[in-house]
Structure 1
Amino acid sequence: MRHPHTRTTRTTRLRLAGALTAGLLCTAGLAAPAVAAPTRAPAASAAPALADGLALTPPMGFNNWNSTHCRADFDEAMVKGIADLFVAKGLKDAGYRYVNLDDCWALPNRDADGKLVPDPARFPNGIKAVADYVHAKGLKLGIYTSAGTRTCNSAGFPGALGHEYSDARQFADWGVDYLKYDNCNNQGVDAKKRYTTMRDALRATGRPIVYSICEWGENKPWEWAADVGHLWRTTGDISDNWGSMLSILKQNLPLAPYAGPGHWNDPDMLEVGNGGMTDTEYRSHFSLWSVMAAPLLIGTDLRKASQATFDILDNKEVVAVDQDPLGKQGAVVSSAGGRWVIAKEMKDGSRAVALFNESGTAQRIATSASAVGLPRATAYTLRDLWQHSSSHTAGTIAATVPAHGTVLLRVAADPHWAAYPPAAELGLAGSPLLEAATPAALTGTVTDLGRTPARHVSVSLTGPAGWTVRPTTATTAATLPAGRTLRTGWRVTAPAGTPTGAYGLTLRADYRSPSGQRVTTALPLTASVVVRPPAGTSYLSDLPWLSAASGWGPVERDTSNGESAAGDGHPITIGGTVYAKGLGAHAPSDISYYTGAACTKVSADVGVDDEKGAQGTVTFEIWADGTKVASTGVLTNAMPAQPLTADVTGAQVVHLVVTDAGDGNDSDHADWADARVSC
């Protein structure tokens, strides 16, 4: 699928037949205050899985679409280069096997015999030669087509509807090992029939081919496709931004009962390395896809990838969570306030536990060994899969998790727990919002979560060059007994004239286990230098925001959302009325402002922008310091702008939140027209 939000600019694409996964999407905004409890899935159907021995763990590999689309650099040289890098960079050793071609590999028309023709400019030696090259590396080749008369690209390459057996035979003869089968231009033919026909055609070739059903979750394939394909898309297309990744995560999480060996929920390809998110967010993306037992298909051009990207993709301990042979998808344990705990049962009896912070500020996230399903034990081992360090806990599983970050642990009831040092939980209390030249009081904590004491404990807090960071209480303890906490006060001052923005702080603790093993642990955090809005009434689009996240493309100032690129919006227009000022977003979105307890009112005219025709359904909310203080009902494109006003007296931070109204976020272009704050 090519993302539905772009259909107004690519008019040849088929519109979705219905809302994406209606009823399954958590309709929260991106801020912690707006998080809803996860929706529970119904009991899984009894549809048997394909008994062909394929995809017994989620497929791993590469697909070019997210990084190249149909650009000219998608060609034979790229495919061979990716295969070479799989071997050279150790990705093959980590488990990546499939090098998959997406749309645009063929000519626009079949030949006189009705056969598909590889584009000779892109693949001058044909697909079989590429497959042979990939196979010689010990890897496998995948290909793409659509369960329709044309594919999803606006150029309309040949689809397989009515040609299933002929096309499957060609794929098999070329040596194809994986088929991604899309959903465009399907002529209204029943989805189950279309996808079952291709299953039978692939089976008739006698070649083992992993079959990826890409019908976007429209017809709930998790309920019927376990004996049709090896994996099925549960959502629309992912895009390279935080809001998109988060929305897809929330749609896919409730479907855990339907996944297992040979039949997987597919929340779409990885965006890791494509540049639209931070490395912290990409680590969350990779961690969460792994704990969901999702296919891991790299979506970045590895020829241009940074070492940080390779470090994420090649984390074998995280990959092992995804590839665990038990085949369980992780389930939500809790999600209050955007503090997610997701636990995945592993074949060896351990649990992979993701502590995921959806919110824009650091949060303490805690659970217990019993809550994630482990048996009662004296103590448990904790393996941090990103820090590659081991410790033990008496039962508490907790960490302060940076904004948009994930701590991924493997926890086991281990009789040899005493061989590891006690786990130390670090935290920093107090407001992370600082006004320049004004001292801020923070409190650092180090807590022994283990059964044994931590000895020779020392703590430090460091900030950017030029900042003043001074302790106001003790920074050392000769012994920290099990379950006890060392608290240290800190006074932090940003120099006068420090520009507004986010700055890094690091809280570090050093200690020794009873056996003398030295442990160093660090907690990276973010402090924001802020300024209060000026006195009087100001347009919010003229003020700096603390954070801005949008479900498709960036938040825009004084224009609509437009599409995925920055600056591609239009004059804000709701119900035919044009507004010169405002904020253009796309659900789910969250825009936060520092108000410093100096403001009294936020107001705006809100609605769905006219640029999406008759599409789009959203709700608008205003939050003040974690409390929802104003909201609309469901608004549609057919409605004029609605006035929304909130009393924000005394609030330090105000959030402008838009949800997708529970029906998926297709075309949810949301305007905060004439948005103002009075201070």
Structure 2
Amino acid sequence: MKWCPLLICLFLLHLSTRAQHPHAVFLQTATFTTGDDPRWAQPDFDDAAWKQQQVGKTWQEQGFEGYHGFAWYRIHIIIPSSLRQQGFWKDSLRIFLAHVNDVDATYLNGKKIGQTGGFPEDAGGYQSKWPAVREYHLALNDPAIHWDADNVIAVRDYDGGGTGGIFMGQPYIDLLEKTDGLQISGGAGAALTLVNTFNTPVSGTLAYTITDEVQHITVRSKTAMVQLPPFGQRSIHMEVPNRQGIVCSYRFTADGSGLQLQHTQAFPYILTPAAPQQPRINGAKIFGARPGAPLLWRVAATGAAPLHYQVAGLPEGLQVDAITGIITGTAIRRGTYKLVATVQNRLGKTSAPLTLHIGDTLAYTPTMGWNSWNCWGLSVSDEKVKSSAQAMLDKGLAAHGWTYINIDDGWEAPQRAADSSIVPNSKFPDMQGLGQWLHERGLKFGIYSSPGPLTCGGFLGSYKNEQKDADSYAAWGVDYLKYDWCSYDGIAGNDTTLETFIKPYRVMQQALRHHHRDIIYSLCQYGMKEVWKWGQQVDAQSWRTTEDIEDTWESLLRIGFSQYKLHTYAGPGHWNDPDMMIVGQVGWGEHLHPSRLTPDEQYTHVSLWCLQSAPLLIGCDLSKLDAFTLNLLTNDEVLALDQDPLGAPAERVLATAQEQVWVKKLADGSRAVGIFNMDTTYRDITIDWKALGLEAWAHTRNAWTQTNIPRPAHSVIPPHGVLLLHCSR
């Protein structure tokens, strides 16, 4: 078995965001109301008539679907003096609220103890900070703390769009200890790195055990003494085998206090074989463009450089660059053109049929690319966009069909130009130049706006300036527009008719069609009014079907596996969008961290999105791609399921609490089968091929390992993992 020590770099544990102490008091429920009133911060306010909410879940999940704006939580809690007595360091009280979407001001018994983000009325205006962890501290002698008595933690929350509330973690109160400054993560050189972020020394014992959960064996077990000076760090060398089921359990025990940090983490493992050195043509084999519109289409191919490209059958007005494989030009005549692409290098030559439709349909297959939001949030800049674009080329993603580079919220200037044109802020000095830079490299250029006066991040939206904005996008060379509902709530008001939800998207559609430019139109309005039933009416190529996704299994489960009812509404030119991908380094503009999904959950994530023919938009920092994430994003047999020209999303054919099976029809008559273990333990799952209607299908291939295998009667699948098969007669 090959050893892959570099995979340890993915082994990051966010210990500062979870309670470490046995006497922590967890905050479970709160009274809740929408609206805004400063009296609600006071401890003596009577909130008996308010609704009950579970803290740790968005309010959209608890009866307030579609609500955005101000809301308040009031958490009643007795703070026991035993906390103070049992604390070792006895420094301060910690109030941990996980995450708050999007802005919060938090009060204890009427005293404001912290604020994260900016409210609309603040001097700097609305500033979303939902990715930031909310953790507020008070000195133990602060009179705001009522020991052994009722306390009210009041949280004023403003949600500018998407989900709202206290979520993505379990809130608690406890005493801050020295160990709370200790962070443990994977470092360079296959090392487990301990970092002390406090200005006080910490010491203790680190014990770790690496086990194989499949074979039920211990790989190794070690103990090390650790002494860290203020702001110091230490690395401990580790090696792990590259195979499924390898986990590390560790426990750090602090000297003196005896407090422990402990966690169990699954190690990533690579299934995707390296691309061959001989030429291979990847990506979508079908493409659509409108007559008279500038066309840009890269023939995606892998193989040892240099590669040489030819495309036979191109219509008049189009040409291919023999060095880059980028097809450009303008086709005037409508029609379906059967092309043959040929790619060769010193090791060989390969050809593949391609189909070009010049007509009214765009996005014959789901879009594949990158979006800045899950990584950079509102801190996106020209430099960061170019860095990701260059990484898409340098790390080979473009050779596997990844094409779009999409700027999300945060690019807009505070004011429009004198003629009402939208202009970028100082982070983007030349939008037209950026578009040209991307196009020269065979990449496409995406932008973001809202039909409301403001975007979700508080920047200028397109309301009443739709044609001006469409003119700017066309001039800049934009190829993709994400149009996010956000502040249009304020325009719609209490009007909940279907036409009110359709109208703003129709207005922008008409503005975009004034130009002979193919701009993919992506509706982002979280699935309201069953957008999948009317998205095509406004010429959209995709539409969000859910609220925002997060990098947790709970979010993936709720969003990804809820799509089974929608498969009939998607197909070539119109796609259901369950949101962006949550693999790699994400952070939404705050501190980047590796996805909190386990490796098996990430295999499930990519498999499910490809089975569902979902748009694939990477959300991580591409410049920091590790080997495991690259393995997830460059498996051409898996990506081919998403890009299959039939465009038929998988149907869920079996669903129990322990397992699900999804089956996808493919253009060549074969089938893709995803078998998912929904349980938290390894399970040997029986595969009933007769019940699946595939009893006579003799040829079976594991899509992730790209190997032919005997048709399995059963398979051991890891927790929240998947077996992805390609079956043919």
TM-score by length of structure 2 reads 0.49
> Does the CA contact (< 8 Å) of 1:351 and 1:410 recur in 2?
yes
| 1:360 and 2:676 are equivalent in the alignment | no
Aligned to 1:412: 728
> Does the CA contact (< 8 Å) of 1:235 and 1:252 recur in 2?
no
- Give the SS at the match of 2:709: strand
Aligned to 1:148: 452
Aligned to 1:6: 101
Structure 2 distance, partners of 1:169, 1:101, is 17
> Does the CA contact (< 8 Å) of 1:146 and 1:181 recur in 2?
yes
Structure 1 distance, partners of 2:369, 2:474, is 19
Quick one: which of 514, 520, 533 aligns to 1:223? 533
- CA spacing shift, 1:325–1:63, aligned 2, 3 Å: same
Aligned to 1:451: none
- CA spacing shift, 1:157–1:254, aligned 2, 3 Å: same
> Does the CA contact (< 8 Å) of 1:17 and 1:218 recur in 2?
no
- Give the SS at the match of 1:354: strand
CA shift for structure 1 position 152: 0.2
Residue 724 of structure 2 aligns with an amino acid whose one-letter code is L
Structure 2 distance, partners of 1:218, 1:314, is 33
Aligned to 1:372: 692
**Percent of aligned pairs sharing the same letter:** 40
Quick one: which of 717, 722, 728 aligns to 1:401? 717
- Give the SS at the match of 2:508: helix
Structure 2 distance, partners of 1:178, 1:343, is 30
Aligned to 1:82: 388
Larger RCO, structures 1/2 (Cα 8 Å, 6+ apart): 1
- Give the SS at the match of 1:99: strand
- Give the SS at the match of 1:131: helix
After superposition, residues 297-376 of structure 1 pair within 5 angstroms as 297-374=617-694
Residue 481 of structure 2 aligns with an amino acid whose one-letter code is L
- CA spacing shift, 1:254–1:338, aligned 2, 3 Å: farther
| 1:174 and 2:484 are equivalent in the alignment | no
CA shift for structure 1 position 340: 0.8
| 1:123 and 2:218 are equivalent in the alignment | no
Unmatched 5+ stretches in structure 2: 1-57, 61-67, 69-99, 105-116, 121-157, 166-357, 493-499, 586-593
- Give the SS at the match of 2:687: strand
> Does the CA contact (< 8 Å) of 1:85 and 1:303 recur in 2?
yes
Aligned to 1:237: 548
Aligned to 2:557: 246
Structure 2 distance, partners of 1:262, 1:198, is 18
String of CA shifts for 1:41-64, please: whole Å, max 9, x gaps. Answer: xxxxxxxxx972211100000001
Quick one: which of 54, 58, 63 aligns to 2:366? 58
TM-score by length of structure 1 reads 0.53
- Give the SS at the match of 2:660: strand
After superposition, residues 558-637 of structure 1 pair within 5 angstroms as none
Count of residues paired in the alignment: 374
CA shift for structure 1 position 137: 0.8
String of CA shifts for 1:210-239, please: whole Å, max 9, x gaps. Answer: 000001111210011123200000000011
| 1:94 and 2:400 are equivalent in the alignment | yes
**Bigger Cα displacement from structure 2, 76-85 vs 131-140:** 76-85
Aligned to 2:225: none
Aligned to 2:709: 391
CA shift for structure 1 position 14: 5.6
CA shift for structure 1 position 17: 10
CA shift for structure 1 position 369: 3.7
CA shift for structure 1 position 16: 6.6
> Does the CA contact (< 8 Å) of 2:664 and 2:672 recur in 1?
yes
After superposition, residues 153-552 of structure 1 pair within 5 angstroms as 153=457, 156-186=458-488, 187-189=490-492, 190-228=500-538, 229-274=540-585, 275=594, 276-374=596-694, 377=696, 380-393=698-711, 398-413=714-729
CA shift for structure 1 position 251: 2.5
Structure 2 distance, partners of 1:202, 1:297, is 22
What is the RMSD computed on CA atoms of the aligned residues? 2.5
Residue 483 of structure 2 aligns with an amino acid whose one-letter code is Y
CA shift for structure 1 position 15: 6.3
Unmatched 5+ stretches in structure 1: 21-49, 414-679
| 1:137 and 2:441 are equivalent in the alignment | yes
String of CA shifts for 1:71-121, please: whole Å, max 9, x gaps. Answer: 2xx21122122222222222112111100000001112212211111112x
- CA spacing shift, 1:89–1:104, aligned 2, 3 Å: same
CA shift for structure 1 position 253: 2.4
- Give the SS at the match of 1:410: strand
Query: Structure 1: which 4+ aligned runs deviate by more than 4 Å?
Result: 1-5, 10-20
> Does the CA contact (< 8 Å) of 2:543 and 2:577 recur in 1?
yes
> Does the CA contact (< 8 Å) of 2:422 and 2:468 recur in 1?
no
- Give the SS at the match of 1:226: helix
Residue 636 of structure 2 aligns with an amino acid whose one-letter code is K
CA shift for structure 1 position 368: 3.6
- Give the SS at the match of 1:247: helix
Structure 2 distance, partners of 1:308, 1:173, is 39
String of CA shifts for 1:180-210, please: whole Å, max 9, x gaps. Answer: 0001110343120111111111111121000
Structure 2 distance, partners of 1:138, 1:408, is 31
Aligned to 1:549: none
Aligned to 1:105: 411
> Does the CA contact (< 8 Å) of 1:63 and 1:299 recur in 2?
yes
> Does the CA contact (< 8 Å) of 1:183 and 1:215 recur in 2?
yes
- CA spacing shift, 1:192–1:19, aligned 2, 3 Å: farther
- Give the SS at the match of 1:197: helix
> Does the CA contact (< 8 Å) of 2:59 and 2:164 recur in 1?
no
